Amino acid sequence: MKVQLSGITPEELNELTTLVKEVHGFDFSDYGKASLTRRVSRIMSLKKLSFYELKHRIVNAEGFFQHFLEEVTVNVTEMFRDPNFYRSVNELVVPYLSTYQHIKIWTAGCSSGEEVYSLAILLREAGIKHKCFIYGTDINTEVLKEARKGIYSFRKIKSYTENYMYTGLKGSLTDHFTIMYDAATIHSELKQDTLFSVHNLVSDGVFNEFQLITCRNVFIYFDNKLQERILDLFYHSLAPHGFLCLGSKETIRSEAFRKKFKVINSKENIYQKIGI
Amino acid sequence: MQRWQQAEVLLIGGSAGSFKLFFSIVKHVDVDINKIIILVMHRKKNFFSEIEKLFSEHSRIYIKEIADKDVLQRNTIFIAPANYHTLIEKEGYFSLDVSDPVWYSKPSIDVTFDSAAEVFNERCVAILLSGANQDGAEGLLKLRQAGSLTIAQDPSEAEMAEMPRSAINLGAAELVLSAEDIYKLIRT
């Protein structure tokens, strides 16, 4: 049998998304096609699977789908990615959050937890961490296990330290970690009042009310229609005047939602909910 | 050249040693070029470069750093942002991606070229300039196979020969041109 090593047709991609939806209940039909095609082709090439074999495994092989899900969704993340974003949160959002007794934060699509802990560090350095509760959610159970551990390789911490340097924060990133050999463990007080849980933005709904929602570099994988649906979910999950932070290259394009959010920082895409 | 005239898209990739060429190309682009121009340059994250600003000051047409879901339009120079891969959707817009670097690079030229090959076919002219690794060579080959006009900078004059040479060795380059000839082509 001829094994196709890379590339699937648009028709095959449709067939695959339908199959995944029917068998496993995950709906990728409104994901951006270019990236999804690239991810699926990559899995086929890494595992040396033909399209037929891939479908067969998704349906029949125990545990394969979890692996497929992990590979098809992008889990690359950094602490303090886009340092100017954290600078802006510190300058424009933290003063507002400080006025609350209890601050609830949701990081949607948190992957292995780097963004949750970046926020925790920022809030701790701002002296308001004790009033905060941070939820990190993702559709992958495996990455959430990593997030709960909060252990990162020393090599990664070195690159995160460079990011941290550009944020303008006054502390030092390594103050928040215990470093042993080549691993760095985040301090337990930063893990306090964080909760990592499975949530699928495509199919799950509102689960709490938040003063701040961050969802960075997740929308890039969704088409415009799906982005709008999830903006609606975020809108209804935000407290009055709550903040929404998208990735540095992700803007609210929908006219309807542009009216519902005030732009706080147009470069870093920080928005504030208008009205109730 | 008829294929140049008919192309809707001009796609250019480059790395080490290509900055001056990009700059000259941007200066040479005419207001009525009537093409979608996409530039992929290897760039470092957290290096708050002023490339877009600098290019804007010297260009006669609109320069835009790509944001997610930007719509492709003619008479615009789109520049791939740092720390993302840039992909092109069939519906005519860009999608960004933060997955792992390819050839140690994010943006990777291969990623954009591969995705362009799926969308543009013979409607594209692609150029690979100077660079110190092989990023872009395979992507250029895919573009050539898809019917695009593919060009590599002459390695003998490139500051870093590795990138265009890799493309030529793969048989990805239909034409091998000097920088001067590339400017000439863009002005026709």
Three-class DSSP category at A275: coil
Same domain, A95 and A19: no
In a domain, A78, yes or no: no
Together in a domain, A194 and A227: yes
* Angle formed at CA A14 by CA A11 and CA A19, multiple of 5 degrees: 130
Tell me, yes or no, whether A77 lies in a domain: no
Interface of B with A in 3-22 (CB under 8 A): none
Domain that holds residue B73: 2-187
CATH number at residue B117: 3.40.50.180
Distance to chain B for A130, nearest Cα, Å: 31
Domain with A43, as residue range(s), is: 10-72
- Is B97 within 8 Å of B85 (Cβ atoms)? yes
Q: Answer yes or no: is A99 within a domain.
A: yes
Outline where chain A has alpha helix (H). Answer: 10-24, 33-47, 51-60, 64-72, 83-88, 94-97, 114-125, 141-149, 154-165, 188-191, 224-237, 255-258
| Beta carbon pairs, A and B, within 8 Å | 62
Active site residue B70: no
B118: nearest CA partner in chain A: A34
The pTM assigned to this predicted structure is 0.93
- A172 with A64, same domain? no
A97 and A189 in a common domain? yes
Residues A183 and A140 in one domain: yes
* Same domain (yes/no): A63, A97: no
Give the residue on A whose Cα is nearest the Cα of B116: A34
Contact B41, B49 (CB under 8 A): no
Give the H/E segment covering residue B117.
helix B109-119
Q: Which two tokens stand for residue A212?
A: 């701040």
**Known catalytic residue at B58:** no
What confidence tens digit (pLDDT) does each residue in B117-160 have?
999 999 999 999 999 999 999 999 999 999 999 999 999 999 99
Q: Whose structure tokens read 């004059």?
A: B157
Residue B15 annotated among the catalytic residues of the structure: yes
Whether residues A175 and A143 fall in one domain? yes
Q: What average pLDDT does the segment B171-177 reach? A: 97
Whether the bond between B107 and the residue before it is cis, its omega within 30 degrees of 0, is: yes
- Residues A132, A42, single domain; the answer is no
pLDDT tens readout for residues A40-81: 999 999 999 999 999 999 999 989 999 999 999 999 999 999
Q: Do B95 and A32 touch (CB under 8 A)?
A: yes
Q: What is the pLDDT of residue B33?
A: 94
Q: Is there a single domain that holds both residue A63 and residue A101?
A: no
- Judging contacts by C-beta atoms under 8 Å, the chain B residues touching residue A45 are none
Q: Quote the number of domains for chain B.
A: 1
CATH number of the domain where residue A148 is located: 3.40.50.150
Regarding whether A190 and A250 lie in a shared domain, the answer is yes
Q: Which residues of A touch chain B, with CB atoms under 8 Å apart?
A: 10, 32-35, 37-39, 74, 76-77, 81-83, 162-163, 166, 217, 219-221, 224, 227, 247, 249-251, 253
Averaged pLDDT for residues B67-89: 97
Quick: pLDDT tens for A12-37: 999 999 999 999 999 999 999 999 99
Residues A97, A67, single domain; the answer is: no
CB contact under 8 A, A33 and B98: no
Give residue B49's pLDDT band: very low, low, confident or very high (50, 70, 90). Answer: low
Residue A3 lies in a domain: no
Domain count, chain A: 2
Both A114 and A216 in one domain: the answer is yes
What is the mean pLDDT, run by run of 10 residues, along chain A of 276 residues?
58 96 96 95 93 96 93 95 97 97 98 98 97 97 96 94 95 94 95 97 96 98 96 97 97 95 96 86
